[in-house]
Amino acid sequence: MIGTDIDTAVRLLQEGQVVAIPTETVYGLAGNALNQEAVSTIFSVKQRPSFDPLIIHVGRVADIPYYIQDIPPVLRKLADAFMPGPLTLLLEKKLIIPDLVTAGSPRVAVRVPNHPVALDVLTKLNFPVAAPSANPFGYISPTTAQHVAQQLGEQIPYILDGGHCSVGVESTIVGIENDRPTVLRKGGLSVEAIEARIGPIAVREHSTSNPIAPGMLKSHYAPHVPVILGKPEDLLPTLPGKSVGVIRFREKTAGIPDRQQLILSARGDFREAAQRLFAGMRYLDQLALDVIIAELLPEENLGRAINDRLRRAAAG
């Protein structure tokens, strides 16, 4: 059931149930991170392999120290600058965080979502909430309550509706690797914004099938329709007779019906493009196309996170 009652979501979470909550990035499938049964339910509803760890969400930056050992100064700077916001920090966990949440890792991923409804829920709870994106494992992340309902509606008691997600791609994950701050998943906080605060940061490119590398499963965010990357003008001649969808940053593509084209931002705005990406991919996915051509965006700003999602959609 979809609703807007914060107290219902809070009560269900306190009972150890799993509910969908809005965040500014994508909707999350939330449960009490300190309750093994709630965490197990998250994994089974999402059909997520237990080796892929979960992010915990808290309502205040000041709550983070309850769950982690200490924050290295450089990550502290990022927390001060960007939390609440689309930033997740990987930090040494305290014992209170179950190994199930971190898939056995000594580090836990922590974030403070910048969404009034999420913050309202989280500040009413006295435990952190584990929440992966509220989609079946490997599929496109949800950016509306309706997206969640379409796929997980039967399996969870409540979907808290907070409207369209304003960022639209998942949080940027940052940890310390080999003594250097490193972006482990490109996301809704741009590398440029991070570097403006702390100077140069390493960026791990995607694409290992080794899940020990966080959030980095190669095929992900994938529609059911196959996705190929390239320039539509080059690829279309190789696809005679096929029903083709196109994802592009700004331009229209000649010879493709308008309804089969996802133009992410005609005015070339990366924020708008990120906001529209996942809903647009879902829309194209239900048109019964043979194939979707996706053209990469400029490799800058949120274009980097968008390209990462497009590459992984095409890796399926």
CB of 200 to ligand TXA, least distance (A): 22
Would you give the binding string for Mg ion spanning residues 129-148, x where CB under 5 A is met? ----x---------------
- For residue 64, what is the DSSP state? G
For residue 2, give every residue at least 6 positions away whose Cβ sits within 8 Å of its Cβ, in sequence order, or none.
145, 146, 149, 153, 159, 161
**Residue 292, strand partner residues:** 227, 245
**Residues within window 134-163 making contact with ligand TXA, judged by CB under 6 A:** none
**Whose Cβ is closer to ligand TXA: residue 230's or residue 316's?**
316
**Residue 171 binds ligand TXA, judged by CB under 6 A:** yes
CB of 54 to ligand TXA, least distance (A): 6
Q: Which partner from the list ligand TXA, Mg ion, none does 215 bind, CB cut-off 5 to 8 Å by kind?
A: ligand TXA
**Residue 300, strand partner residues:** none
Distance from chain centroid for Cα 20: 14
* Residue closest to ligand TXA, measured at CB: 214
User: Residue 88 has which token pair?
Assistant: 């997740």
Separation of alpha carbons 114 and 260, rounded Å:
33
Separation of alpha carbons 55 and 89, rounded Å:
9
**Whose Cβ is closer to Mg ion: residue 67's or residue 139's?**
139
**Whose Cβ is closer to ligand TXA: residue 191's or residue 244's?**
191
C-alpha dihedral (273, 275, 279, 281), degrees to nearest 10:
30
Residues contacting ligand TXA: total by CB under 6 A? 25
User: Residue 71 has which token pair?
Assistant: 């924050």
**Residues within window 51-90 making contact with ligand TXA, judged by CB under 6 A:** 52-55, 88, 90
E-only strand ranges, the chain? 2-3, 19-21, 28-32, 55-57, 87-92, 107-111, 129-130, 159-160, 172-177, 180-185, 202-203, 227-229, 244-248, 261-263, 291-294
DSSP calls for 147-194: HHHHHHTTTSS-EE---S-SS-SPPEEEEEETTEEEEEE--SS-HHHH
Instruction: Pick one of 32, 35, 102, 301: the residue that binds ligand TXA (CB under 6 A).
Output: 102
Q: Which partner from the list Mg ion, ligand TXA, none does 152 bind, CB cut-off 5 to 8 Å by kind?
A: none
The amino acid that residue 221 corresponds to is Y
**Whose Cβ is closer to ligand TXA: residue 295's or residue 308's?**
308
**Whose Cβ is closer to Mg ion: residue 28's or residue 85's?**
28
Which one of 150-158, 165-173, 233-241, 250-258 is the stretch in contact with ligand TXA (CB under 6 A)? 165-173
For residue 314, give every residue at least 6 positions away whose Cβ sits within 8 Å of its Cβ, in sequence order, or none.
227, 228, 229, 294
Q: Which partner from the list Mg ion, ligand TXA, none does 181 bind, CB cut-off 5 to 8 Å by kind?
A: none
Q: Which partner from the list Mg ion, ligand TXA, none does 88 bind, CB cut-off 5 to 8 Å by kind?
A: ligand TXA
**Whose Cβ is closer to ligand TXA: residue 97's or residue 246's?**
97
3-state secondary structure of 234: helix
Which one of 71-79, 108-116, 193-201, 263-271 is the stretch in contact with ligand TXA (CB under 6 A)? 108-116
CB of 137 to Mg ion, least distance (A): 8
Residues contacting Mg ion: total by CB under 5 A? 1
Asked whether the beta carbons of 150 and 69 are under 8 A apart, the reply is no
Residue numbers at the binding site for ligand TXA (CB under 6 A): 23, 25-26, 28, 52-55, 88, 90, 102, 105, 107-109, 111, 113, 131-133, 170-171, 173, 214-215
Residue numbers at the binding site for Mg ion (CB under 5 A): 133
